Amino acid sequence: MSEALSQPSVLTTPELSIKDSSLMSYFPAMLAVGGAILLTLLRWQTGGEHFISDGALMMLALASYLTAAVFFLTNLYAPSTLFQKIGLWTATAGVFFNASSWGVRWIAAHDRELAILSRQGGEMPWFFRYIPFANLYDLSLAFAFGAGITTLLIAHRRNFRFLGAISLPLASLVLILARFIGGEFINLPPVLDSYWRPIHVGIASLSYGIAMVCFAIAVVYLLKDGVKVEAMAIWSSIFALAVIATIGGTFGTFPILTTATYSASTFLPPRMPLPLRADIPYVGPLLVLAGILLLGVIALFGRYVAKKDEQSKRWGHYLLKASLIVQVLAIVVLVSQVKGITSVAVCAGERPEGTACVDARRFHKFGVWMAEQQGLTPEQTAQIPDDKLERGASNWIQENQSKLFLSLNANPVELAALITAFAATLFVIIFSFRTDKLRAALPDKEKIDSLMYKTGGVAFAGLALLLMTGAIWANESWGRYWGWDSKETGAFVAWLTYGAFLHSRISRGWTGRASAYFAIVAFLLVIFTYLGVSYLLPGLHSYA
């Protein structure tokens, strides 16, 4: 019996040694968090007139994360103590700037509430009221911080610093998304004003960050376990194709923003996206070309994996690199065009210089939306002739075109998805360079597997707390604990998947690749809950 009790509960999951896990090894994480608290207090004392903004701090965090990732990745190919130290301390700087950005934003939100109070009178709300967890920008800052601080806590061990090469670029993508979302403050409806809001959203963002690190560990495990880079390229190409195929349902267009009043009874706030898209020249053909190249990659690498055809492998890599170049061109052209186009109009013939044209085929959908804004029910709208809806939409656009403009903030998910697809393709290309040397530089796969198990367990616990605090908040706001809202359901499914990840390991002994695939699928469900549900499906989580 004593021998049985002395055995680990999961025989297939080796324990990590904590021989070098002294308190001082966590100094970078403590320094980053402590420094962020001090900077936030300094902002409180000095005021914001000449103080660095939260947006500037966020961009410094982004630069630090990317720099650290480059040094961590370089260290895998050319091991260097100097590279490790630079990577560790720039990652520490990234977490410091990331947390500071959120803290400074908190104080800025307080100043905003104070300014409103001075104009309108009333009592100053307690600090929970203006904690910056009101929209997806705030959540993204905390999401990236969760991934960054988790990476720092793991990277105190030298043989696990490789993790920053994957997790920090992922955190950077979240910050890029936040940059495109825009950091404007919003007024929450009174129904959401509860002290459970910051608790629930804070737990969500940190849990998402840990899940992201678990995902990065799973990808590294597959690489270490000998999964062919070409097989990874097939899946990354399928993902990129899915992104290209679902960009707004049409190629080469971009959503429009407005600052206009819609009617006498309805006002659209500044930077309000309209359900209306403008054609962006050259972007569509480039995305189509990238999609064709990715189809070629899938076909050639599929043949190589199935039949060991070396010629297919060689040409597949050529097409993969070509698709990367085309994806970069599409993103650059999109960003430059959106920045350079100065007006939006209904174009009857040739497109005027510097103008984005609205396709007449989109008038009907916009006309339906206009009718809904006027308070008509779907049944009433259906009785309006199509030509009348389209004519009304066209007239409104022509009357208000001076107030319409394009912005990268109009739909941050689309641009962020394109950048993520590019990043996935880039990482596969990096993995294909001296793959054997890269695998040799990674620690034993048993240790990576154990780390994946531990981070997955923490993510599971975090998502459980997310569901519980969300249910309590929902009961306070809407009088019910659960309503099968799209975001509630998405979080529940993600939590169940992490539960299956743990259950399969403990009861069935599934380790290694099986667990890695589970961790990857679970994180994709987390991302769908974080973004897909917020932007694609209707629900009560309108703050996103």
pLDDT classification of 70: cutoffs 50, 70, 90:
very high
CA distance 276 to 260: 14
Are 149 and 85 in contact by the 8 Å Cβ rule? The answer is no
Walk across the sheet containing 355-358 and list its strands: 343-345, 355-358, 272-279, 253-258, 404-406
Q: Which residue has the higher pLDDT, 505 or 477?
A: 505
Note whether residue 159 is domain-resident.
yes
In a domain, 269, yes or no: no
Question: CA 515, CA 218: separation in Å to the nearest integer?
Answer: 8
Confidence at 541, pLDDT banded by 50, 70, 90: low
**With bands split at pLDDT 50, 70 and 90, how would you rate the model's confidence at 17?**
very low
> What is d(CA 66, CA 317) in angstroms, rounded to the nearest whole number?
25
pLDDT digits (tens, 9 = 90+) for 404-458: 777 777 777 778 888 889 999 999 999 988 888 888 888 888 899 999 999 999 9
The pLDDT of residue 418 is 87
Q: Which residues pair with 483 in a beta bridge?
A: none
Pairing between β-strand 343-345 and β-strand 355-358 as defined by DSSP bridges: parallel
How confident is the model at residue 64, as a pLDDT?
A: 95
* pLDDT per residue as tens digits for the range 147-202: 999 999 988 777 888 888 999 999 999 998 888 877 777 776 666 677 788 888 88
- Name the range with the highest mean pLDDT among 213-227, 244-258, 376-390, 413-427: 213-227
Q: Which token pair is 529?
A: 């809950």
Secondary structure of 179-231 in HEC code, one letter for each residue: HHHCCCCCCCCHHHCCCHHHHHHHHHHHHHHHHHHHHHHHHHHHHHCCCCHHH
The C-alpha torsion from 361 through 418 and 177 to 56, rounded to 10°, is: -110
Give the model confidence (pLDDT) of 263-319 as tens digits.
222 333 445 667 777 777 788 888 889 999 999 999 999 999 898 888 999 999 999
Strand locations in 306-349 (E): 343-345
Continuous segment of H or E residues that includes residue 443: none
| DSSP 8-state code for residue 131 | S
| Between residues 117 and 308, the one the model is more confident about | 308
Q: How confident is residue 325, by pLDDT bands cut at 50, 70 and 90?
A: very high
Give the tokens for residue 105.
């934003």
Residue 377 resides in a domain:
no
- C-alpha 20/C-alpha 27 separation (Å) is 13
For residue range 376-399, what is the model confidence (pLDDT) as tens digits?
Answer: 887 888 888 888 888 888 888 777
This prediction's pTM: 0.83
Is the pLDDT reported for residue 251 higher than 80? no
Instruction: Determine the straight-line distance between the first and last CA of the chain, rounded to whole angstroms.
Output: 54
Contacting residues for 488 by C-beta, under 8 A, at least 6 apart: 467, 470, 474, 482
Counting DSSP H helices and E strands in the chain, the numbers are 19, 5
Q: In this predicted model, which residue has the larger pLDDT, 310 or 487?
A: 310
Report, in angstroms and rounded to the nearest whole number, the Rg of the chain calculated over CA atoms.
25
Whether 192 maps to a domain, the answer reads no
Residue 534 confidence (pLDDT): 59
Q: Is residue 270 part of a domain?
A: no
* CA–CA distance, 452 with 361 (Å, rounded to integer): 49
The pLDDT of residue 376 is 80
Domain carrying residue 93: 26-187
Amino acid of residue 71: F
Question: Mean pLDDT over residues 333-338, rounded?
Answer: 84
What angle do the packed helices 196-224 and 229-245 form, to 10 degrees?
140
Q: What's the pLDDT at 96?
A: 96
* 140 within some domain: yes
Question: Is residue 12 pLDDT above 90, yes or no?
Answer: no
Share of the chain above pLDDT 70, in %: 84
How many degrees, rounded to 5, is the angle at CA 84 between CA 153 and CA 71?
105
In the structure, what pLDDT confidence band is assigned to residue 250 with cuts at 50, 70 and 90?
low
Task: Answer with the residue of higher pLDDT: 458 or 536.
Answer: 458
Spatial separation of the C-alpha atoms in residues 94 and 32, rounded to whole Å: 8
What's the mean pLDDT when you consider all of the chain? 81
Indicate the pairing of strand 343-345 with strand 404-406. unpaired
Q: Is the pLDDT of residue 261 over 80?
A: no
Number of separate domains in the chain = 1
- pLDDT classification of 260: cutoffs 50, 70, 90: very low
Number of other CB atoms surrounding residue 185 within 10 Å? 16
In a domain, 266, yes or no: no
- 492-501: average pLDDT: 90
Structure tokens at 394: 């066209």
Q: b/e map of 254-287 (b: 16 or more CB within 10 Å)?
A: bbbbbebebeeeeebeeeeebebbbbbeebbebb
Interatomic CA distance for residues 494 and 214, integer angstroms: 14
